[in-house]
Amino acid sequence: MLKEETMQVDPIKYEMFLHRLWAIGEEGRMTIQRVSASPIVAQGGECISGFYDPQGTQVLSCSGHLRFAGATSMAVKKIIELFSENPGIRDGDQFFQNDPYVAGAHVYDRLVIKPIFYRGRLLAWVATGIHTADTGGVLRGAATQIHEEGVRLAGLKVVEDGRLREDTFRAIVDQCRDPGYVALDLNSCIAANNVCARRYLQIVEKYGAEFVEAAGTKTIQDSEAMARAKLEAMPNGTWAARHYGVARDKETGEAIPFQVVCTMTKQGDELTLDFTGTSREMAGTTMNSTLPCTVAQVSVALTATLFWDIPWCDGKLAPVKFIAPEGSIINCRFPAATGGAPEVGQQLLPAICECVAKMLYAAGRYQDVAASLHARWYSGGPGAFYGGHGRQGIPVPQGIYDSHGAGFGAKPDQDGVNTAGRMHIPSGGIADVERTEMHYPIVYFTRNHCTDGGGCGKFSGGAGSYRIYMVYGSQDLSVDYKPYGGVPEGGYGLFGGQPSGTGGVRALFKCPDVMKKLQAGDYPTTTDELEASWGQAVVSKGGPTRIPLPEFSLVADFVSGGGGYGDPLERDPHKVVRELRDGLVSAHAAANYYGVALHPDGRNPDESATQRRRQALRQERLAQGKPHSGSTSSVPRGRPTRSLLKFHEYLAIAADGGALLVCCRCGHVLCQAGENYKDYALRRQRDIEELTGRRLPHGQPYLAVWQEYICPGCATLLQVDVWCPSLGDGAPLWDTRLDLGKTVSASRGKGG
């Protein structure tokens, strides 16, 4: 609840304070990026600076990595709890922390925390967070317990009385493969804290300590009040989402799917997120998330979609409660390994965001609605985290973060943005190819937008990128490896839009005569060329955690795209043809997803042929779909006379006398408002191999399918859900349950 105010804060001074504090935090973040040599930090932006009150409550965080922002309060409070008495917390101290069971996602998330004293009194804290790729443990993907993942510290004083403690500093960095690289990362955080603390004290000197403390309290108060006001404006109800990921079975090495289930209930000015139904923790793998990591991911999801215009501090989450069953994959027990926690988060984030998007749509806040920002149609194969040595013999314990060029999801009135970024790093970036080639023993042949990289829809999701590169100059390079599962991950489409794109290849290729071809001036620029004439995909047997990348081998990879919005058969055919010409859409997708036929001139759609093709595809939907309940309507008679609430692009709650019904825009009544419309829609199950026209690189079947829900009246595609048969009975997910009392009375008050 809101803290009691300690003094009246001058509003003009307060605005100046808030903007100045933000600018200082940004200066701290940029300091980190200028000192660090790590590509993921210097160019990728995985770092952050933030300010905290004397008790460790976050006052303001800036535009770096939002997951760090969501976790750091717990770290500051743990430092206060553990070390206030021994060794003590004094002016000039700084503490290192990277224990994911305290804060953060995994041991690679490193925090440095500094108290700010003024005239002998603890006035505030500043903290910086950074991603460091090496912690001295086994290489990424190979750990079975957290003890194997390297340096893990709940707190260690690295700076004392303003001087670096060489003993503790060396104890951290010397356990890593490249101490110089890790030392720069650690020094960057220390430097940023010094900058932020110095600038903070300048504000104190200008406005006084009492004002600065009161202004920090007001920021937290205002954030909570604004969050509650925003929630109060939303319709009451419950929304549900289910997302899947893939882990490695420790016994067989095969792919095993897991699920993250989110049931979001909004009542009044409070929000509850219940993750009951989420899979159990994964023993013997790194694919686990601690409770602090899950709290941080909740903060990321809500900050990016719902509370983006509210000061980024702990106050905004005060109205939010959540239930994360202990022993689940999102609340694992010690000593489970957590190196893959961000990948678990890639399913947790969209589960929350999908619920929020549908709530926002029902509230009429269409400008804030968006489909998934992180959708990929399968994972597996060679990953992003390398080991070995580069061309100069320098250790390579880092990753390639082209994933920061992901596509954004489509909106109710516009396409998603291609290679736009990542939702959890507003100030992030994608590394230059040349910079990447400087750090790693690889040579890029191409990096471009991925064909069919975004989910199809009336408005299409933004495409991610794909890349093809060759290993060059290393005899011992290795990479993490994940078994192929064929489960679409992290994606959701809205109201008929596809949950993910279907383009791209992730695999290792061996080409015996690669150098001969290169010397002749030839090199692959598309994955079609690569598969057709350069080599065959090499699939490692037994599901190893890491694989070697021999010199001159080729690697293809693709980056996630955005989800689609609305029925793809409603997309403007001219857009499809233009994207077909630009390589963003394949001929297969144009004909089978969008139903567009090309004019003989090759530059325009054939209008009449497109109309016929789309009508044929709608008839296929009607012929192949079957209602789960056995009936296409639970209402035998009646036609609604007045729409009360549009909660879906094509569906609304409408009145028929005293009854409240769910009906399509075409007038077909699906059910009563208290029922799940999906039970009465036509459902068509689509095999992903059938949809994409291609198998996974290892040749095995996909582990999941798409479930399409179709209006029986007009054949409009209403929703596309991912379903993994091994994890559920296939009953339609009830994704929207509105509290009709408040919702309908509010709509009637507006005149219907």
Whether the Cβ atoms of residue 422 and residue 374 lie closer than 8 Å to each other = yes
H/E run at residue 746: helix 740-749
Lowest mean pLDDT among 14-18, 64-68, 228-232: 64-68
Quote the tokens at residue 527. Answer: 């994955």
393 CB-contact burial (10 Å; exposed 0-12 / middle 13-18 / buried 19+): exposed
Could you tell me which of 16, 64, 25, 60 has the C-alpha nearest to residue 44? 64
Count of other CB atoms within 10 angstroms of residue 693:
11
pLDDT band at 496 (very low <50, low <70, confident <90, very high): very high
The answer, yes or no, to whether residue 173 has pLDDT greater than 70, is: yes
Distance CA 297, CA 287 (A): 15
Query: Which residue intervals of 372-502 are DSSP H helices?
Result: 433-439
Among 429, 406, 523, which residue's Cα sits nearest to residue 469? Answer: 523
The conformation of residue 562, written as its DSSP 8-state character, comes to P
pLDDT at 536: 87
Phi-psi region of 446 (alpha: psi -120 to 50; beta: other; left: phi over 0): beta
Look at residue 677 and give its three-state secondary structure. Answer: helix
3-state helix, strand, coil in the chain (%, to 5): 30, 25, 45
CA distance 292 to 77: 13
The model's confidence at residue 432, banded by pLDDT at 50, 70 and 90, is confident
- Reported as a pLDDT band with limits 50, 70 and 90, residue 285 is very high
What average pLDDT does the segment 500-519 reach?
93
In the prediction, which pLDDT does 745 show? 57
Q: What does the pLDDT read at residue 638?
A: 62
Which two three-digit tokens encode residue 536?
């065959």
Q: Per-residue confidence at 439, pLDDT binned at 50, 70, 90?
A: confident
Q: Are 94 and 78 in contact (CB under 8 A)?
A: no
CA dihedral 181, 185, 188, 193 (to 10 degrees): -160
Q: Tell me phi and psi for residue 703, to 5 degrees.
A: -90, -5
Cα-based distances in Å from 703 to 90, 281, 486, 724:
55, 20, 5, 6
Q: Dihedral sign, CA of 717, 723, 728, 730? A: positive
Residue 59's region, left for phi above 0, alpha for psi from -120 to 50, else beta, is: alpha
pLDDT confidence of residue 15: 96
Above 70 in pLDDT, residue 751? no
User: Do the strands 270-274 and 255-267 form a parallel or antiparallel pair, or are they unpaired?
Assistant: antiparallel
| DSSP label of 712 | T
- Distant-in-sequence, close-in-space partners of 16: CB < 8 Å, separation ≥ 6: none
Q: Residue 427 and residue 436: Cα distance in Å, rounded?
A: 19
Strands 270-274 and 320-323 turn out to be parallel
Mean pLDDT, to the nearest integer, of 438-448?
Answer: 93
Count other C-beta atoms under 10 Å from residue 50's C-beta: 27
Neighbours of 558 (CB within 10 A): 25
Reported confidence tier of residue 752, pLDDT bands at 50, 70, 90: very low
Cβ atoms 493, 530 nearer than 8 A: no
Q: What average pLDDT does range 710-721 have in this prediction?
A: 98
Q: Following DSSP, what letter does each residue of 8-63 receive, concatenated?
A: PPPHHHHHHHHHHHHHHHHHHHHHHHHH---HHHHTT--EEEEEE-TTS-EEEE-S
Residue 426 CA to residue 558 CA, distance in Å, equals: 21
Provide the pairing of β-strand 47-52 with 121-131: antiparallel
Residue 534 near residue 514 (C-beta atoms within 8 A): yes
Q: Are 468 and 554 in contact (CB under 8 A)?
A: yes
The dihedral over CA atoms of 428, 433, 436, 437, expressed in degrees to the nearest 10, equals 180
- For 331-379, the pLDDT digits (tens) are 999 999 999 999 999 999 999 999 999 999 999 999 999 999 889 999 9
Q: What is the pLDDT of residue 742?
A: 60
Q: What's the confidence (pLDDT) of residue 643?
A: 84
CA distance 308 to 667: 37
Position with higher pLDDT, 563 vs 430: 563
Joined together, the tokens standing for residue 35 give: 């000192």
H-helix or E-strand containing 681? none
Give phi and psi for 411, each to the nearest 5. Answer: -120, 175
Terminal-to-terminal C-alpha distance of the chain: 35
Instruction: Tell me the β-bridge partners of 336.
Output: 145
Compute the distance between CA of residue 177 and CA of residue 397 in angstroms, rounded to an integer.
7
% of the chain surpassing 90 pLDDT: 81
Residue 470 contacts residue 443 (beta carbons within 8 Å): yes
Three-class SS state of 713: coil
Residues 6+ apart with CB under 8 A from 275: 260, 261, 262, 263, 294, 322, 323, 324, 325, 328, 330, 348
The strand pairing partners of 652, in sequence order, are 646, 663
**Sign of the CA dihedral running 346, 352, 357, 360:** negative
Q: Is the pLDDT of residue 409 over 60?
A: yes
Are 448 and 430 in contact, with CB atoms under 8 Å apart?
no
Residue 706 has a pLDDT of 96
Q: Who's near 637: CB < 8 A, 6+ residues apart?
A: none
Mean per-residue pLDDT of the chain: 93
696: enclosing H helix or E strand: none
**Residue 743 clears pLDDT 60, i.e. is over it:** no
- Using alpha carbons, select from 386, 446, 454, 444 the residue that is nearest to residue 417: 454
pLDDT grade, residue 750 (50/70/90)?
very low
pLDDT tens string 124-134 = 999 999 999 88
Helix (H) or strand (E) holding 287: none
pLDDT tens, residue by residue, 91-136 = 999 999 999 999 999 999 999 999 999 999 999 999 999 999 889 9
